[in-house]
Chain A
Amino acid sequence: MRTRKPYVFAVAGALMFAAAACGNSNDSSSGGSASGGAGSSITYWASNQGTSLESDKQILQPELDRFTKETGIKVNLEVVPWSDLLNRILAAATSGKGPDVVNIGNTWSASLQATGAFVPLDDTQLNTLGGKARFLGPSLAATGAPGQPPVGAPLYSTAYALYYNKHMFKDAGIADAPKTWDELVADGKKLTKDGKWGLAVEGASVSENAHMIFTLGQQQGGDLFDSSGKPQFDSPANVAAVKQYLDFIASDKITNPSDAAYSNGTEALQDFIGGKAAMVMWQSASGTLKTGGMTPDDYGVAPIPLPDPSSGGKQIDSMVGGINISVFNSAANKDGALKFVKFMTSKQTQQDLNKAYGSLPTVTDAYDDPAFQTPEIKTYQQILANTAAPLPQVTNESQFETLVGNAMNQLFADAASGKPITDETVKAKLTEANQQMTS
């Protein structure tokens, strides 16, 4: 018997590991809603909309409690930081294990739609949410590829606008926000002095760069993808757009060369708050500006300049920014999840949450609240209604953002270190990015 013991232990050990490994993959169906039985709870991954993950929880919890009271469904909330959100969603899609409901950046819509991970919302489902007409058109257009049922409902809307420092404008003798790009550059030159700069940009931010080349390229009359979906980043219009943006550092010299290294999505805004830059192009900055001690008396919000209508460019001055709410196909409680989407797009919830976040409701009936009648919100509302366009809803959108944004990072580095920025150098980099679009 003495000799048999080690065998038994060894085999038992091996079996235990094997059993543990199998056990893990078997209980996947229960997902995050194991407690209290199916039907009574859902898991929700929210994106980080507030100043911190903690503040998001505080803003969302009262709403979630209201949902639980109305429907009896408990919501397990997790706020996921932006840096992790896409990877978490991809992992959930790959493994089939994840939350029931998730927030996504609306520029990912078409890419994520292609994975098939989300429940497509057909007309019946959209009707239970109040019908297509209830949503803002541009926001609804950013929920998936054209002609296919959307893979989510718009939750919060944003757009780019020009924020300017009223005091600095007054000191420089400038009465109003610039209406054309020439005016913006001229104002910028007046404002650039004594270590202060006209305009701040996030030169090393991949996504910001991608958004800017889209908007400026539209203004030049160009498109990033041709009608058959082939990338054409190095078209003359896009080259001109990138050059115009880089020239703020390279030839106009209204932007601090240091901005070429700004990448974390806060630095340019901090320069604006600290009075080191007089203008910045940003999405819904009011929350952060308030935290930084600025009131609407200190800053103004205006649309980003549009091109001269005679130039042939499109009258587009922003991408349609925003957050969508989607239901996972693998959701353990799909019914509850769809009820939750309906709740989140209801008038009351839209008003509460967009007020708290400083973003715009995605449904038209929510705008009767006086909180959405401020000049800033009105400006945004007009931009979204008239001059904003969604980023190309193509499956390789995230690849585009990475490649073009990265190419622009490198060009910004060149511009900041005084290397010449010409049509040729810009085109060479964009061609390289274009060729790397593989799929």
Chain B
Amino acid sequence: MVVSATSRPGGGRGSGDPGGPPPPAGGGRGRVTPRLWVRLRRLGLPYLLILPALVLELLVHLIPMVIGIGMSFIKLTQLYIRNWSAAPSAGWSNYHLAVDFNAPVGRALLHSFFVTILFTVITVALSWFFGVAGAVLMQGEFRGRGVLRALFLVPYALPVYAGVITWSFLLQRESGLVNHVLVDQLHLFGDKPFWLIGSNSFISIIVVSLWRWWPFAFLVLMAGLQNIPRDLYEASAIDGAGWMRQLRSVTLPMLRPVNQVLVLVLFLWTFNDFNTPYVLFGKTAPQEADLISIHIYQSSFVTWNFGTGSAMSVLLLLFLLLVTAVYLVITSRRRSDA
């Protein structure tokens, strides 16, 4: 409304061609204002065009984030959830609680953090490895390639809940298929091991996560491979490069930009993944597989202490921002050096 009202004086004048040459200088005071307006309008148009997207972005992403940060500075327990403004300020005490590694809460968070790092590094490395192997092996033409490719993508296409709940059935100690194969058929263990509690739960969550994420790596790398010119392979073959040499000197270097993004995205997604451990273990994960997303959920929702949970989330956000920034700086510098 505001725009159309104020644009009226300029609107009559400039309705001809906004991209035309500016009116000659020194045309008197009366012409300066419209000229400024035209300029402003030309500058402002792109911003106005992205305004709807910006408003949505604010609503969907930024505002909840800002509220979350605000929550981390108040004592938001069940006593105050009806009226947040009445919650007493906590200052930095939620953060102190989270990073005081001598106290049980901080120690548990630190433990969970290290478990998550280890879990993420292993899962991302394996997902990437399987992705590269799958994509490279599927590159050559052979019968049944389409079927195999589709098959490999199934875990990624399945709804998380359906896939992971199936895994949790497979991993049951008494009646699960995994123990049936390992113990009853192959006799690898004397006693049936637990997969969903105790130390084996860490292996279980890695296997399930790997199953879930590697198809994404496969998909992205497969797309990346299509962009490598055939000539490079032909030229290197003429130079006598074998399959291994081609992989090392042509395929992998050419995939580097893809890898840069892929590894970062996989890292962030795996680190933050809530669904997989939640469906596999339920509301409380075993200590050995106490991933940070579940840990924070527990610290806020299950114990009704949303302030502490928010403080932990903010710390996590800062950590992931730092990792992302460092990673991007390092990988871009390497690329510009090359």
Q: CB within 8 Å of B: which residues of A?
A: 1-4, 6-8, 10-11, 13-14, 17-18, 21, 87, 90, 93-94, 96, 111-112, 114-117, 204, 206, 256-258, 260-261, 263-264, 329, 395-396, 398-399, 402-403, 405-406, 409-410, 412-414, 416-417, 432, 435-436, 438-439
Contacts and interface: CB of A to CB of B under 8 A. Distances in A.
A14 B78 contact: no
Contacts of B308: 438
Interface string B1-37: 1111001000100110010000000000000000000
A7 B4 contact: yes
B197 A261 contact: yes
Nearest to B18: A3
Contact of B304 (A18, A90, A405): A90
A439 B287 CA distance: 23
23 contacts: A7-B4, A8-B3, A11-B48, A14-B55, A17-B52, A90-B301, A93-B82, A94-B82, A112-B78, A114-B79, A116-B79, A257-B173, A258-B173, A258-B174, A260-B197, A261-B194, A261-B196, A399-B304, A409-B284, A435-B105, A438-B97, A438-B305, A439-B77
Contact of A413 (B79, B198, B282, B301): B198
A13 B52 contact: yes
Given A260-B197, A417-B194, 5 more contacts: A115-B79, A116-B82, A258-B173, A261-B172, A410-B286
A257 B221 CA distance: 44
Contacts of B97: 438
Interface string B171-201: 0111000000000000000001010111000
B198 A1 contact: no
A264 B284 CA distance: 12
Contacts of B301: 87, 90
Given A8-B4, A112-B78, A3 B104 contact: no
A398 B304 contact: yes
B198 A117 contact: no
A4 B11 contact: yes
- What are the 8 tightest A-B residue pairs by CB atom distance, in nearest-first order? A13-B52, A413-B197, A435-B104, A10-B48, A258-B174, A399-B303, A413-B198, A14-B51
Contacts of A2: 15
Interface of B: 1-4, 7, 11, 14-15, 18, 41, 45, 48-49, 51-52, 55-56, 59, 77-79, 81-82, 97, 103-105, 108, 172-174, 192, 194, 196-198, 282-284, 286-287, 298, 301-305, 308
Nearest to A2: B15
Chain B interface SS verdict (over half): loop
A111 B304 CA distance: 9
A436 B284 contact: no
A94 B304 CA distance: 12
Contacts, number: 130
Nearest to A400: B303
A386 B308 CA distance: 41
Given A117-B82, A398-B304, A416-B197, A7 B286 contact: no
Contacts of B81: 90, 93-94, 115
A111 B77 CA distance: 10
A21 B52 CA distance: 13
B282 A263 contact: yes
A261 B168 CA distance: 11
A413 B284 CA distance: 13
A417 B78 contact: no
Query: Of residues B14, B103, B174, B196, which shows the largest number of chain A Cβ atoms within 10 Å of its Cβ?
Result: B174
Contact of A398 (B11, B56, B82, B303): B303
Given A18-B55, A413-B194, A435-B104, A3 B14 contact: yes
B49 A6 contact: yes
Nearest to B14: A3
A112 B304 CA distance: 10
A1 B8 CA distance: 10
A409 B104 contact: no
A87 B18 CA distance: 56
Given A10-B49, A436-B105, A402 B77 contact: no
Contacts of B302: 398-399, 402
A117 to B, nearest CB: 6
A117 B80 CA distance: 10
Contacts of B59: 17, 21
A413 to B, nearest CB: 4
